[in-house]
Structure 1
Amino acid sequence: MDSRIQQFLDEAEIKRVHIRYCRGIDRMDWDLVRSCYHPDAVDRHGAYNGGVEGFIEWAAELLPKFECTQHFTGNQYVQVDGDVAYAEHYAQASHRTKPVDGEMAMDWVVNVRYVDRMERRNGEWRIADRVVVLDSQRSDPVPAESAPLENSNVGRRGKDDPSYTNGLV
């Protein structure tokens, strides 16, 4: 196969791993998140630094404290060198807090870059080493009238979300 075509295929697969990671985090689908990392991977995610299983445990404890999260990925720069690649994924992650003790909910928005060393092992690209770089953050109060409409298809944080029940795996 032409080396340029292989490079495009590798870049597409690496970008797909990152998008799969974002979906897994937002839906709290820990098997999907796990599928993005090699078992011996390291994640330096701000407050968490360590292996992938510890990261998943940390995220599984932290994320239910939010009403919802949504990761929006923008620029993705990928540099492939054989079976190793380096990627930088720009993202804006929104986290809606739950109202607690009469205080209004907040939207915590972070602008981050996921800086990854990817490795292709057994023909599959996965994260081997990840550093999450925080570029900026802000918190905004959520007015009470921002609650979801009653008859809307409200997103869910698990496999009963419409994206799973309508056939997307």
Structure 2
Amino acid sequence: MPKTIDEVIAEAEIRDVHLRFCRANDRRDEELMRGCFHPGAVIELHEPMDVDAFIALGRVILSKYTVTWHNTGNQLVEVDGDAAWAEHYTISSHRIAADDSGPERDFVAYGRYIDRMERREGAWRIARRKMLVDFTRTDALLPDDQGLGSWGGTRDRGDPSYALRLRP
């Protein structure tokens, strides 16, 4: 059955929520992250948690990396009125500084986010999210590798992308 224009618009809005989620991770923007979820949302990573616990966990995990970079691939969205199911494929790169475990390296995770999305008061947000890691790898850096983020990006609202936005 053909999609209605309302379904196509809903799919685009749902995809945008996921892209904001990826941006929030990479810029460590907790306000933007919180805005991706409805109040009372449940996030299943290792165990179910609420948004506050997820953000607190992210604060700890993301601080271990010098740069993160989430890239979204396939996105499948199925809309049914004010509810939707979505699956987003993501490749996430995480730069690890040299430490006792080894030289500077990249940890790369290939995973999927499976969402129950809901439209409440006109806004699509995540009501429930299950995060799956399908496989990972760790890559050593070559001696002449300049690395991610070496051209001035930052992991906060000081990143040039905030200054150049059309809307605050």
Provide the TM-score with structure 1 as the length reference.
0.91
Give 2:159's match in structure 1, choosing from 144, 158, 161: 161
The equivalent of 1:111 in structure 2 is: 110
Q: Deviations 1:53-102 (Å, cap 9, x if unpaired)?
A: 10001101110110111011011000001111000001101111111148
For residue 131 of structure 1, what is the aligned residue in structure 2? Answer: 130
Aligned-partner Cα distance in 1 for 2:95–2:69:
9
Structure-2 separation of matches of 1:38 and 1:133: 20
Number of the residue aligned with 1:5: 5
Asked if residue 56 in structure 1 is aligned to residue 41 in structure 2, the reply is: no
Amino acid at match of 2:164: N
How far off its partner does 1:165 sit? 2.2
Mapped partners of 2:114, 2:137: distance in 1 = 21
**Any gaps of 5 or more consecutive residues in structure 2?**
none
Q: Which runs of 5+ in 1 are unaligned?
A: none
| Amino acid aligned to 2:152 | V
* Distance in 2, Cα, partners of 1:121 & 1:137: 35
Bigger drift between 101-110 and 19-28 goes to 101-110
Instruction: Please say if 1:20 is aligned against 2:7.
Output: no
How many equivalent pairs are there? 164
Distance in 1, matches of 2:138 and 2:147, equals 20
Q: Distance in 1 between matches of 2:48 and 2:38?
A: 16
Q: Counterpart of 1:31?
A: 31
Higher mean C-alpha deviation, range 137-146 or range 83-92:
137-146
User: Match of 1:65, SS?
Assistant: coil
Task: Please say if 1:41 is aligned against 2:41.
Answer: yes
Are residue 95 (structure 1) and residue 128 (structure 2) matched? no
TM-score, normalised via structure 2 length: 0.91
* Other-structure match for 1:66: 65
Aligned position for 2:140? 141
Contact 1:70–1:95 (CA under 8 A) maintained in structure 2:
yes
Give the Cα separation in 2 of the matches to 1:11 and 1:102.
43
Matches of residues 72-83 of structure 1 in structure 2 within 5 Å? 72-83=71-82
| In structure 2, C-alpha distance between the alignment counterparts of 1:162 and 1:142, rounded to whole Å | 26
Tell me the alpha carbon deviations over residues 16-40 of structure 1, each in whole angstroms, 9 at most, x when there is no partner.
0000000001000000000000110
CA distance in 1, matches of 2:101, 2:51: 36
